[in-house]
Amino acid sequence: MPAQFDDAVAAYPLIGAYSSDLSGGEVNQAGEVTYLGVGAGRGGRGALLGPRAAELTDKIPADISFLWTDVDAPAAVRNSGMNDLGDWYWLACRGRVEPAPGTEYVQPLDISTEDLQEVQDRCNPNTHVRPGDEGLTWWGYHHPDGTIAGLCALLIPPQDNNGPLRYAGLELAGLGVDPTYRRQGIGAAMMSAITAWGLARFSCVHYGVWPDNEGALRIYYRLGYRQEQHVRGWAPMPLGSLQ
């Protein structure tokens, strides 16, 4: 369904960025575009977006691990027993990211899972991604004093310039900074360096942020990220923070 998928991406950029998960789906074009896509990646994530979403809710798989919907989700989703994880802003950076001081300290991490867990316990213990999760690459901020003072997970998508995957973006998750080192620009340096790396390879770099995280949003907007969608997340069990 190349043409239909292109229509869905034009209406909902999130679908394109997650095309490695969502490109096999169904488009309802009666009226405005409505899309349901569910993939096997990362445990069967899916998206149901559009004004006629209620007409496709009966096709959501029972074993789905995570679902994006519009903020005003269909009643069938709200009453399904899935956990409402709240609404959040889906941000994307395309084309250019502003440089930030300290990017030279941001590098991929080559440390054990146990050491990664220790860094995460300091920097962002409540995030939903974990060292050892399949498909993740971890980057860190190597402070001059020898401490890994920041951490971020990258989900690098497969690439195919001739199919739906041409829309795929680099997904970031679990960004965190050790409390001892906060307010030193480390988060901005990490986002700038990783985003520049991602934009050299993919259509965009993207990240989900809670609407009330105003300090982080100011930083991301300054770097060149823009809110492209406002969505709600659902899961069969609590996943913790989505940031």
* pLDDT tens column, 181-235: 999 999 999 999 999 999 999 999 999 999 999 999 999 999 999 999 999 999 8
Mean predicted lDDT score pLDDT of the chain: 89
Confidence check: pLDDT of 41 > 60: no
Report the C-alpha gap between 93 and 165 in whole angstroms.
Answer: 17
- The pLDDT value recorded for residue 181 is 98
Total residue count of the chain as it appears in this document = 243
Q: Do 37 and 64 touch, CB atoms closer than 8 A?
A: no
Burial of 117 (0-12, 13-18, 19+ CB in 10 A): middle
Instruction: State pLDDT tens for residues 123-139.
Output: 999 998 999 998 899 99
pLDDT of residue 43: 57
Q: Return d(Cα 14, Cα 152) in angstroms, integer.
A: 20
**Measured distance CA(78)–CA(43) in Å, rounded:** 21
pLDDT in tens, 155-181: 999 877 777 788 999 999 999 999 999
Q: State the pLDDT at residue 234.
A: 94
